[in-house]
Structure 1
Amino acid sequence: APSQLRAHVGADPEHGDTEGTARGRPPSPPPQLHVPGARGGDLGPAIPSRGAHVGPCREGRWGGAGPPPPRLDADPAQPPPYCPERSPFLVGPLTVSFSRVPTLEQIRAKNPAVQAGGRYQPAACEARSRTAVIVPYRNRESHLGYLLYYLHPFLQRQQLQYGIYLVHQAGNGTFNRAKLLNVGVKEALKDEEWDCLFLHDVDLIPENDYNLYTCDPWNPKHVSVAMNKFGYNLPYSQYFGGVSALTPDQYMKINGFPNEYWGWGGEDDDIATRVRLAGMKIVRPPVSIGHYKMVKHKGDKGNEENPHRFDLLIRTQRMWTQDGMNSLTYTLLAKHLHPLYTNLTVDIGSDPRAGRSRQGPGREGQRYRSSNSPFREEMLRKLPGLGDLRLALSPRLPTAGNGTRGGAGSAGGVTERSPEVTGDGGSPAAAEGTLPTHGYNQSWPPGPR
C-alpha cells in the first residue's frame, strides 16, 4: 500500500495547499463561496467548515453569499431533503500542482468526513447520484497520492455519495487495465447499487469541478475530453481513454471491457466500437469543462505497447458479446478498507501471448490498418505534435498514461472463499500478505431517483 508517500503538496506559505485554486470564473457561475482549497484557504473538507463561508452568521441570520450552512438541530427522524440539482459549493476551474507528493495522513486529515473504504455521503442532504470511482493500479504511489488529494474534495463539493476503489493487480506480469476495470465494477456492485461507474486512470487529475462525476442516463460518457497531454484537445472523435462513465446497465449492455488486451493500447478503441454496436453513442461534457492534467511519468515496466492490439480490434465486431463481463475470471486475494479507498488486490492471470517473438500486427491486424472503415479512419487521424505519424502506426507517447498496467499468477475464476476484510486504517500490506515481494505497492438526471 502507498504508505510511503512523501511530504505534502503545497505552495501556500501558511497552509502548504494549492488544491482548488480558482483560475477564473465562467460568465454565470453559481453563488461564490470561500471553499476549502481556494488560494489562501484551508484545503480541509469540501463542505465548508472552518473559515469556509464568505460572511458571518450573527443572531441566527446568515450574512454570507450562497446558501446558509446546514442546520445542526434538524430532526434526525426526518429523512434529509435531496441535495440541490447544482451544488452551491462548486468553484469551477482549479489549479493543479504536482510540486510535492502529499502523505496519506495529510490527505486523511483534510477529509475527516470520508469513511473507511473511501466512502462519503453528504450529511445535510441526500445525494442525487451514487458514484463508484474505479482505478486500475500498480506501482504508482505518487500518482495515487495526487489523485486522492484532489479527488476527495472535488467529489465532496459536488455533493455526491461516492466510493473510491483501487483495483491492484498482483504480480509483475503484463498489466491489463481493461480486465482490472471489469473486476472493479463487479466487486463495487457487490457493495452498493451504484448509479454511476467512473473508470478513472490514476494519473489524470480533473481541473474543473463543474465536470460532474455523474452519468448520462442514456449513453456512455467520455469525461477526460481535454488533457494537457494532447494540448487540451480531443485527439479523435472516437477516443474513449482516460476517464469515462457508464451506468451499470450501460456497462452490462456493452459486456464491459474486453479481457484480452494485455499491455498498453487498444482497449479504449474496442469500447468505442462496443458502444456503437450496442446502439448507443459517446457523449461528452464541453471541452472547456472536461480539462484534466496528467502526472508526468516514464513508461512502465510490464505495460509495454501491445503489439497484438490491431489483431484484437479487427475481431471486436464478432467477439464483443463473448469477451467481457460474461467471460471474466479472477481471484480476489484481499480486500482492505483503507481510510481513503477500498483496496482490491486481485490475481487476473497472465498474458497467454507472453514470450512470443512477433512484434507487430498479424494478418488480421494489417487488414484492419489498411481497411476503409470510417472508425479506422478516425483512429488514424493525426495527433497534435506527432507530425506525419499516425495514431495506429506510431509508438507510444513518452507521457502516455491510460492507467498503469502489468499482471501475474494464475486465475481460475472468482474464488469462492471470501478474503478477510480489514478496516483498521493501517497499511494494506499487512492485510495483503499474499502479495509478491516485487511489483507490489505500488447522472443520474435532475430530480428524485
Structure 2
Amino acid sequence: MRYGYKKRFLYSGLVVIILIILLHPNKNARRTYEFIKLEKILKNLYEDIGNNFTSTALVDCDYYDIVRDDTTLPISIIDGDLIDGHGIREGGEHAPMDCKPKYSTAIIVPYRDKAEQLRGFLVYMHMFLRKQQIHYKIYVVEQVDTKPYNKAKLMNIGAVAAMRDGYPCLVLHEMDLVPLKPSNLYACTKLPRHMSSSIDKYRFVLPYLNQFDGAISILSKQYKTVNGMSNNFYVKEDLFSRLEYHNIKICRFEPKTSLYHRIYTPKERSYRQKRTERTFSKELMLNDGLNTLKYTEVATVLHPLFTHIMVDL
C-alpha cells in the first residue's frame, strides 16, 4: 500500500510539473512593456493619404470613438461571407463614403498553398477594416515556385508594389493572425509599431521585447530607410535590428488593444532546400534588401477582395 501511495504521489507530482511547464509563459516573456496609452493613440498616428486616392466627402472622418471601441470581433466571421453592399473595390481596396479618411494603408500578406485559410482571412479582415474608416488595400503576394517559402522577400515585393501605388503606410501581416479589437487602428504611428503584441497562442503575453513580427506597421519612407528586409531565406530579428541600427525605436499599443487570434494551420509542406541562417550585420543591411530585390512577376490579378501578385523567386 505504501509503495502504491508513493507511486501515485510521484505521478501526481510529475503531472503538476508538466502542466506548469506547458502553461507557464517563456521565462523571457514580458507581461508589461512600454506602450502608447489609449488617450494618446490619435496624437501618435501619422496622418497621410496616398497620392493615388481622392475623396469627395465634405467632412473628415472622426476616429475618437473608433480607438475607444472596446468590443471584440467574433472569430466565427472567418467561416462566414461578406455582407451585401460591402463597397470593396476591385483589387481589395476600400474607403469610407460618408467622410474623408486621414489614413491610407497597404496590407501586405505573404502567401502559399492555403486557399481556404486565405478566404477566411480576407473575409474577416475586410469586415474588421471597414469599421475603421480608413482607406486601405490588401496585397497578397504568392510564391508560386517550389523553392523554400521566403516570407521576408514576399513582404519586400508587396511593399514595392504598394509604394509604387502611392501608399504611405505599410502593414506587414502574417495570414494566420487576425486582430480582435477594432480599436487596433490599421494606420501607421510615427514610429514603427508591433501591432500583434498580445497573441492568444502565447496567452496574450509578449514573448520578448525585441519581437517584431506577426503584424507590424511601418511608414513607407522608414521601410526604404532600412532597405526593407533581407531577401535571404532566414535572418534572425532582421527588421528589428535594421531599425535599431538607424536609431528608430518601435512602439506598441496597450495589450488589451493589441489582441490577436492565431489561426491553426497545418505545417508548411517541405521543399528540398536547406535553410540558410544568417545574423544581422551592417553589410547585410546595405547589400541585401530592397536595393537587391530580384524576382520574376508571373502575373498580377485584381480579384474582388485582394490584389494577387504571383511571383517566382
Pick the TM interval, shorter chain: 0.7 to 0.9
1:259-338 maps to which residues of 2 (within 5 A)?
259-262=231-234, 266-267=235-236, 269-302=237-270, 307-309=275-277, 312-313=278-279, 315-338=280-303
State the alpha-carbon separation in 1 of the partners of residues 77 and 232 from structure 2: 37
CA shift at 1:215, angstroms? 0.8
State the distance in 1 between where 2:56 and 2:290 align: 40
Counterpart pick for 1:92 among 58, 70, 74: 70
Map of 1:206 onto structure 2: 179
Cα distance in structure 2, aligned partners of 1:304 and 1:200: 26
- The aligned amino acid for 2:244 is R
* One-letter amino acid of the structure 2 residue matched with residue 198 of structure 1: V
Which has the larger strand fraction?
Answer: 2
> Offset at 1:302?
3.7
Gaps of 5+ in 1: 1-27, 30-76, 349-449
Equivalent-residue separation in structure 2 for 1:291 and 1:279 (angstroms): 27
Question: Equivalent residue for 2:307?
Answer: 342
What is the letter of the counterpart of residue 141 of structure 1?
A: A
Aligned counterparts, 1:361-376, within 5 A: none
Q: Name the structure, 1 or 2, with higher relative contact order (CA <8 Å, separation 6+).
A: 2
What's 2:131 paired with? 157
Which amino acid letter does the alignment assign opposite residue 186 of structure 1?
A: V
Q: Could you tell me which residue of structure 1 aligns to residue 157 of structure 2?
A: 183
Q: 2:178 & 2:272 partners in 1: Cα distance? A: 23
Partner of 1:194: 167
Q: Is the 8 A contact 2:87 2:94 kept in 1?
A: yes
Deviations 1:302-328 (A, max 9, x none): 47997532xx11x42331111100110
The 3 A distance-change label for structure 1 pair 249 and 335 is same
Give the alignment's TM-score, normalised by structure 2: 0.77
Q: How many residues are aligned here?
A: 261
In structure 2, the partner of 1:435 is none
Q: Residue 239 of structure 1: which of 198, 203, 211 is its match?
A: 211
The percentage of aligned residue pairs carrying the same residue is 30
Kept after mapping to 2: 8 A contact 1:155/1:213: yes
One-letter amino acid of the structure 2 residue matched with residue 144 of structure 1: L
In the alignment, is the contact (CA less than 8 A) between 1:96 and 1:205 conserved in 2? Answer: no
Q: CA RMSD in A?
A: 2.5
Please tell me whether the aligned partners of residues 101 and 142 of structure 1 are also in contact (alpha carbons under 8 angstroms).
Answer: no
Partner of 1:112: 86
The answer on 1:215 being equivalent to 2:188 is yes
What one-letter code is carried by the residue in structure 2 that aligns with 1:173? K
Distance in 1 of aligned mates of 2:209 and 2:296: 36
CA distance in structure 2 between the aligned counterparts of 1:272 and 1:141, rounded to whole angstroms: 30
1:198–1:246: 8 Å Cα contact kept in structure 2?
Answer: yes
The structure that is helix-richer by fraction is 2
Partner secondary structure for residue 287 of structure 2: coil
Deviations 1:417-445 (A, max 9, x none): xxxxxxxxxxxxxxxxxxxxxxxxxxxxx
Q: State the TM-score, normalized to the length of structure 1.
A: 0.54
* 2:78 aligned with 1:134: no
For each residue in 1:149-175, what CA deviation from the matched residue of structure 2 results, as whole angstroms up to 9, or x when unmatched?
A: 221121111100000000011122200
In structure 2, the CA distance between the partners of 1:240 and 1:88, relative to structure 1 (3 Å rule), is closer
Q: Deviations over 1:103-149 (max 9, x none)?
A: xxx33x44521010001111011110000001000111222122112
Structure 2 unaligned runs (5+)? 1-37, 40-54
